[in-house]
Amino acid sequence: MQGLMMDMPLLVSSLLQHAARHYGDNEIVSRRIEGDIHRYTYADCHERARRLADAFVRSGTAVGDRIATLAWNGYRHMEMYYAVGGLGAIVHTINPRLHPEQIAWIVNHAGDTHLAFDMTFLPIVEAIASKCPTVKTWIAMTDADRQPKSDKIPNLVNYEEFLAQGSTDYRWPELDERTGCGLCYTSGTTGNPKGAMYTHRSTVLHAYAAALPDAMGASARDSILPVVPMFHVNAWGLPYICPLVGAKLVFPGPQLDGKSLYELIESEGVTYSAGVPTVWAGLLQYARENKLRFGTFNRTVIGGSACPPAMMKAFNEEFGVEVIHAWGMTETSPLGSLSRLQLKHDKLPAEAKQKILEKQGHALFGIDMKIVDDEGNELPWDGKTFGNLLVRGPWVMKEYFRGEGGDPLQYDVDGRGWFPTGDVATIDADGYMQITDRSKDVIKSGGEWISTIDLENLAVSHPAIMQAAVIGVHHPKWDERPLLVVVKRPGAEVTREELLAFYEGKIAKWWTPDDVQFVDSIPLGATGKILKTKLREQFADYKLPTA
Ligand code: ADP
Query: What is the mean predicted confidence (pLDDT) over 248-275?
Result: 97
Q: pLDDT (tens digit, 9 = 90+) per residue, 379-417?
A: 999 999 999 999 999 999 999 999 998 999 999 999 999
Query: What is the mean predicted confidence (pLDDT) over 86-100?
Result: 96
Task: Output the pLDDT for position 60.
Answer: 97
CB 299 less than 6 A from any atom of ligand 1 = no
Best residue among 93, 216, 305 to mutate for probing ligand 1's pocket (most ligand atoms within 8 Å of CB) is 305
pLDDT band at 190 (very low <50, low <70, confident <90, very high): low
pLDDT band at 188 (very low <50, low <70, confident <90, very high): low
Task: Tell me which CATH code domain 443-538 carries.
Answer: 3.30.300.30
Q: pLDDT (tens digit, 9 = 90+) per residue, 426-435?
A: 999 999 999 9
Quote the Cα angle for 30-34-40, to 5°: 30
Q: What is the DSSP string of 290-343?
A: TT---SS--EEEEESSPPPHHHHHIIIIIH--EEEEEEE-GGGSSEEEE----G
Task: Tell me which CATH code domain 12-323 carries.
Answer: 3.40.50.12780
Q: pLDDT (tens digit, 9 = 90+) per residue, 454-476?
A: 999 999 999 999 999 999 999 99
Distance of alpha carbon 402 from the chain centroid: 23
The reply to whether the predicted model has a pTM over 0.85 is yes
Q: What is the 3-state secondary structure (H, E, C) of 177-195?
A: CCCEEEEEECCCCCCCCCE
**Domain residues of the chain, as ranges?**
12-323, 443-538
Partners of 39 in the β-ladder: 29
Amino acid of residue 108: N
CB 421 less than 6 A from any atom of ligand 1 = yes
Query: What is the mean predicted confidence (pLDDT) over 16-37?
Result: 97
CB 186 less than 6 A from any atom of ligand 1 = yes
CB 276 less than 6 A from any atom of ligand 1 = no
User: Is 467:276 a contact under the CB 8 Å cutoff?
Assistant: no
Catalytic residues: 186, 331, 444, 449
Give the atom of ligand 1 at the shortest distance from the alpha carbon of 422: 14
**Residue (of 253, 258, 261) closest to 235 by Cα position:** 253
Q: Label residue 294 exposed, middle or buried (CB < 10 Å: 0-12, 13-18, 19+).
A: middle
pLDDT band at 546 (very low <50, low <70, confident <90, very high): confident
Task: Output the pLDDT for position 189.
Answer: 60
Q: pLDDT (tens digit, 9 = 90+) per residue, 461-517?
A: 999 999 999 999 999 999 999 999 999 998 999 999 999 999 999 998 999 999 999
User: What is the chain's Cα-based Rg?
Assistant: 24
Task: Output the pLDDT for position 91.
Answer: 98
Task: Output the pLDDT for position 525.
Answer: 85
- Give the torsion through C-alpha atoms of 399, 401, 403, 409, to 10 deg: -10
CB 301 less than 6 A from any atom of ligand 1 = no
Q: Do domains 12-323 and 443-538 have the same CATH topology?
A: no
Collapse the DSSP code of 19 into the 3-class scheme (helix H, G, I; strand E, B; otherwise coil) and give the result.
helix
Q: pLDDT (tens digit, 9 = 90+) per residue, 150-162?
A: 999 999 999 999 9
Helix (H) or strand (E) holding 288: helix 277-289
* Pairwise CA distance, residues 235 & 247, whole Å: 15
Query: What is the mean predicted confidence (pLDDT) over 53-74?
Result: 98
* Cα 526 to middle of ligand 1, angstroms: 12
User: Is 440:449 a contact under the CB 8 Å cutoff?
Assistant: no
Residue 173 pLDDT greater than 70, yes or no: yes
